[in-house]
Amino acid sequence: MHIAMVGAGYVGLVSGSCLADFGHEVSCIDADAAKIEALKAGKMPIFEPGLAELVANNVRARRLSFSTDLVGAVRDAQAVFIAVGTPSRRGDGHADLSFVYQAARAIAAGLDGFTVVVTKSTVPVGTGDEVERIIRETRPDADFAVVSNPEFLREGAAIDDFKRPDRIVIGVDDKRAKAVMTEIYRPLYLNKAPFVFTSRRTSELTKYAANAFLATKITFINEIADLCEQVGADVQDVARGIGLDKRIGSKFLHAGPGYGGSCFPKDTQALIKTAQDHGAPVRIVEVVAAVNDQRKRAMARKVLTACGGSVRGKTIAVLGLTFKPNTDDMRESPAISIITALQDCGARINAYDPEGMDQARQVIDDLTFFYDPYSCCEKAHALVIITEWDAFRALDFDRIKSLLVTPILVDLRNIYDPDELDRKEFDYSCVGRGKVPPLGP
């Protein structure tokens, strides 16, 4: 099938490459000519494990191409995916749909023959109706159907999530469109991946409900972690103890500095706004978003406490800047809040991240960058681990102790065993693994 993928970002590039790998002919479109030229030269605009090879294989097989010619690509396509950004609108948290609507108008111009227009981007309930209205207004003669097909791709695992999804959700009311979507995902159909065919609005809301629930689950275990610190319990054992209940499930129960990324923060805000606008506020999600924002700042206080209450004039070594490992993405990373709070308290920051430093330069000022964990620690007064990259999971603490001014480690991802660090005479702080209070008299 001929497919046009509008948007060559985290979602469009991965989705387009995977659909090409399924055997379809995909033309990946972007308005950014420099990005398209880079892609044609085999240079990826994002860090995603396995993506460069997937793109190269499908370009070589002539199933995947890159272009800025949206109208031409739409003319040849039976299905056109809208995979452009839907960032939070400045100031009010609504999703900014201007790129989606621009794409809809441009797509309308190229429609030729029955075409399925698919919203892959995360869009508020009712956006599909508006996309349909814009296209019909622009091209009353066109024969098309608008379908919702949200993505559930995690950065760093996006290719696997696309090829081995827990489910495919498709919001479609048109029989011909349903047949086209079934054909597009035939390889997954044959692999018995669960398909959820539903209405367009239900599909759009399903995406937000999924992300809001995951954000809630993370925030729940983060608050339990705070309680664990007060009562001397271990949040990792609590997480295991509840996660073994199949009704709860063990995933997304890792306590940490709060969730970041390009999705949870913006999608929770967009859902909150949609719910408020429709008089059915999602109060739980409102609290989750507020608690998560406060948590990132609270992590800086944990570092201050570990450093004796002040970091003024001190150097703090930070390992991990990205919002999660295996990505270069700094969007809403807890590191931004934590580092700027420490700088406001007079700390100098040494930083190392395997992939995120180029993006970090654009969002955090006055960082001193290093290119390995050990040089980052030299003459620092404390070491803080913010992102759980594999590269930080087997550090040589004898060497680190020799480099630090004071052996202070704040492990915000609970990578290490407190007893091991105690044996190495580190002053070790972590998340949710409280020390049992001394027994009363």
* CA–CA separation, 81 and 121 (whole Å): 9
Q: Tell me how far, at minimum, the Cβ of 137 lies from ligand UDX, in Å.
A: 31
- Is 285 strand, coil or helix? helix
Exactly one of 35, 63, 120, 254 binds ligand UDX (CB under 6 A); that residue is 254
Q: Does 256 bind ligand UDX (CB under 6 A)?
A: yes
Q: Does 66 bind ligand UDX (CB under 6 A)?
A: no
Number of residues that bind ligand UDX (CB under 6 A): 19
Q: Tell me how far, at minimum, the Cβ of 110 lies from ligand UDX, in Å.
A: 28
- Is 293 strand, coil or helix? helix
* CA–CA separation, 348 and 316 (whole Å): 6
Q: Does 359 bind ligand UDX (CB under 6 A)?
A: no
Which of 18, 28, 228, 263 is an active site residue? 263
Exactly one of 260, 320, 356, 432 binds ligand UDX (CB under 6 A); that residue is 260
Q: Does 18 bind ligand UDX (CB under 6 A)?
A: no
Q: Does 320 bind ligand UDX (CB under 6 A)?
A: no
- Is 189 strand, coil or helix? helix
Segment lying near ligand UDX (by CB under 6 A), choices 108-116, 163-171, 250-258, 418-426: 250-258
| Residue where the block lists tokens 């010619």 | 69
CB 150 within 8 A of CB 162: no
Q: Who contacts 160 (Cβ-Cβ below 8 Å, separation ≥6)? A: none
Q: Tell me how far, at minimum, the Cβ of 232 lies from ligand UDX, in Å.
A: 22
Show the binding pattern over residues 189-228: x = contacts ligand UDX (CB under 6 A), - = does not.
Answer: ----------------------x--x---x----------
Is there a catalytic annotation at residue 377? no
CB 376 within 8 A of CB 352: yes
Show the binding pattern over residues 120-159: x = contacts ligand UDX (CB under 6 A), - = does not.
Answer: -------------------------------xxxxx----
Phi, psi for 240 (deg, rounded to 5): -70, -40
Q: Tell me how far, at minimum, the Cβ of 211 lies from ligand UDX, in Å.
A: 6
- Is 411 strand, coil or helix? strand
| Residue where the block lists tokens 């920051």 | 349
Nearer to ligand UDX, 187 or 243 (CB): 243
Cβ of 294: how many Cβ atoms within 10 Å? 11
DSSP calls for 346-376: T-EEEEE-TTTHHHHHHH--SEEE-SSHHHH
* CA–CA separation, 124 and 155 (whole Å): 21
Q: Does 264 bind ligand UDX (CB under 6 A)?
A: yes
Phi, psi for 317 (deg, rounded to 5): -90, 130
Q: Does 234 bind ligand UDX (CB under 6 A)?
A: no
Catalytic residues: 263
Binding site for ligand UDX (CB under 6 A): 151-155, 211, 214, 218, 252-254, 256, 259-261, 263-264, 323-324
